[in-house]
Every structure is written in C-alpha cells, then in structure tokens.
A and B are shown apart, each in its own frame.
Chain A
Amino acid sequence: MPQFVCPGCYRVLEFAGQGATRCPSCGWNGEAYLFNPAATVVQSAELALPDDATCIHHPRKKATAVCAGTGDYICSLCAVELDGQTFSTEYLNAAGKMKAGKAFQRELPRPDSQITLYLLLPFIPYVDFVAVPFAFLWLPHGFFLYAKCLRMRREDPLFSRLFGTGRAIILPILLSIYSLAWLVGAGFGIWGLAQYFKLFK
C-alpha cells in the first residue's frame, strides 16, 4: 500500500489512490497523489576479460563507452551522459568543466530583470539624482542587455518561456522612450546653460 507523511501530525498514512484525503488522527484535510517512481538501477562495472578493451582509469574494468571529450575507453563507473553524449568524469573534472557547468546549470541569468531595474531607478527617490545624469551609461547597457535577452530567448527554452513576446516588445519601447526623453532633457539643459552664459557675457 502506498504511503505518505501527514503534514499535520507527521504520521505515516496509507492511502490507496489519488485525490482528497483526511488524516484520521489529526483531522488534516488535503489532497495526496502517490506515484510509482522508477527504481534506481545501479550497475556495477564488469571485470574485463583478457580480450576486452579496458577503461583508461580503471584498468581491470571492461570499457563500455568512448569519452566524447578525450576519445578514451571508459567503463560504466566513469561514464556520464550529457546532452546525448557520453563523457568521462575525469574529463568533466578537468578540460570539460565548462561543459559540465553548463549542463548542470543552477543559475539562470536574467538580463531582462536588470533592464527593469534600470528603468525603475529614475523613479526611486534619492537614487534618481545619480541615475538620471548617468543615463548615458546605463541606457546603452540596457540596449546591450536587450540584445542579450533576444539571443538567450533563441537558445534557451526555459528563458524563452520567461521572456515572452510582451516583454520583448515593451522593454525596447520603454528604453527608447526614456532615451528620447533624456536626450531632449539634456538638449534643453545644454541650451539653458548656453543662454545663461550668453546672458552674463
């Protein structure tokens, strides 16, 4: 009988099915869905017979694959599958570190969040005193980040779900409006300064 732990009293409950359920001891109400997960299959590496190819890292083990990074024979202990290719753990620890890091990616850069932050800075009190005069620095960076977003959207399916069409349209429009407003403001400022100096000449 499948089991799960009651979130209310931490008792192990037996529940044959899926859907609404109730804990008989604490009265907890909720839904439980129990599944049949795949059992973990642990295969020990076979010992090599005299005619067998052997693993480069374990000379007594039979080779079962070829490392896509180094081309060496490797046993099942050393083989790691990444994106449909087999690599040896030694390779992934050394030259293939970047490849392993990319495959087991734990962090997703969000240039779109950074653009949003840039666009919010001029509206935050006190921060705007710094953000507005230095917009000539962060606005081009904002456009650069937008280009990065578009590239990531093409390459990464996860990012493409986060960076939808709406954002892809709105962000450059807002950046352009802000750039235009800043240019007009800067133009007026320069013109005003010129008038001021002309007046006192």
Chain B
Amino acid sequence: MSVDLRSNTLFSRASLLLMDDCLIKLEHGRTKDRVRRYSFDRIESVVIYRQIPWVRLIICAVVLLLPGFLLLLAGETSETVTGIVLMACAVFLIVWYLYCRKTTIRVVRAGQQYEVAGIFRPGRFRRFRDRLIGGINAVQLPFAPPIPPVATLEPPPLPVEPPPMPVESIANPTQA
C-alpha cells in the first residue's frame, strides 16, 4: 500500500497518508521528509472545495498552446506537425485540469487550521475523503455520536396511534 494522495506543485511535493488514528502529511525533501501528524481525536471540521486552477491553465496556454498555434501559422510541414503535437498536449492538459480541478482540503484541529491543495484524480480523492471521514468518525465515536449526514436530518417519526378500539365492546362486553 502506498500513499493515498500526492500533491505536486512547482515549489513543493507532499503526500497524504491515512493511518488508523491519524492523517499524516509528508512534505518531501531531497533526502528526508517533514512529517506532520494530525490525530483524528481532536479534528473539529474538514472542509473540501474545488476551484479551477487558473494559474496552471494560463501556464499551459502560454507554454504549449500559444507556441503551437504560432507554429501552425508557419506553413511548413514539420512545423505544422510540431504545432499540432504541442496544441494536442495543451488541450489534453487543459481538459485534464478542468476535469480534476484544484481541490483544497482544510482541516481544523484544536482551533488550528491546516490546508492541503492539489490536483487529484476525482475517484482517488473520493476514496480518500470517504476513508478520512470514516476514520475520524470511528475515532471520535467513543466521545460523542457523529453528526448525521444531511439526508438523514429529518424530524423523528411521530408515535403511531393505536387503532381506535370498538367502543361498544369495551362499554358493554357482554353484548358481543
């Protein structure tokens, strides 16, 4: 079993690992990693949101799409092929970034806020989220019951009234 999520940015690489009782964030270095542990017992909230990664999209457009388009205009066969390849790469990356989007996980633990952001595959991220929420609930269950999901937030069912008894038979059982 390897790491659960990887976040690669231009300046830092980080990995997230889910253990039984804590979330571990590894900030990778050249020869050693910085380990940050967030134990589940004091986590107050997890907020997840997704945004369009504008910076990456702009970099893709400037570095790949624009030169590819300019090469297409040149007219020579080799340059046209290179331009098409560059543009195909750019379009693939842009579609991929738009599909995955930049996901930010904000964990509030003991009043402190910790954030991890990255571009994660949706399926892999969904599995990670479910395991994270399940793990926190499992650890905190002995202290307090988990807050129910929205779908189950319904008013408790009203007590069912017993069917009305035949009044005559109660009033005068000998008649029956």
Contact = CB atoms under 8 A, between A and B. Distances in A.
Q: What size tier do the contact residues of chain B reach?
A: 35 or more
A34 B42 CA distance: 11
Q: What size tier do the contact residues of chain A reach?
A: 35 or more
A145 B17 CA distance: 24
A109 B31 contact: yes
A161 B2 contact: yes
A38 B29 CA distance: 33
A43 interface: no
Contacts of A106: 34-35
Contacts of A4: 45, 47, 108
A37 B143 contact: yes
Nearest to B42: A37
Interface string A88-111: 000000000000000001111111
A24 interface: no
Contacts of B136: 33, 35
A37 B146 CA distance: 10
A105 B36 CA distance: 9
Given A37-B42, A107-B35, A158-B17, A2 B49 contact: no
Contacts of A108: 26, 32-33, 35
B49 A37 contact: no
Interface of A: 2, 4-5, 7, 16-20, 28-40, 105-111, 113-114, 117, 158, 161-162, 164
9 contacts: A4-B45, A7-B47, A35-B137, A36-B143, A36-B144, A36-B147, A38-B41, A40-B110, A164-B1
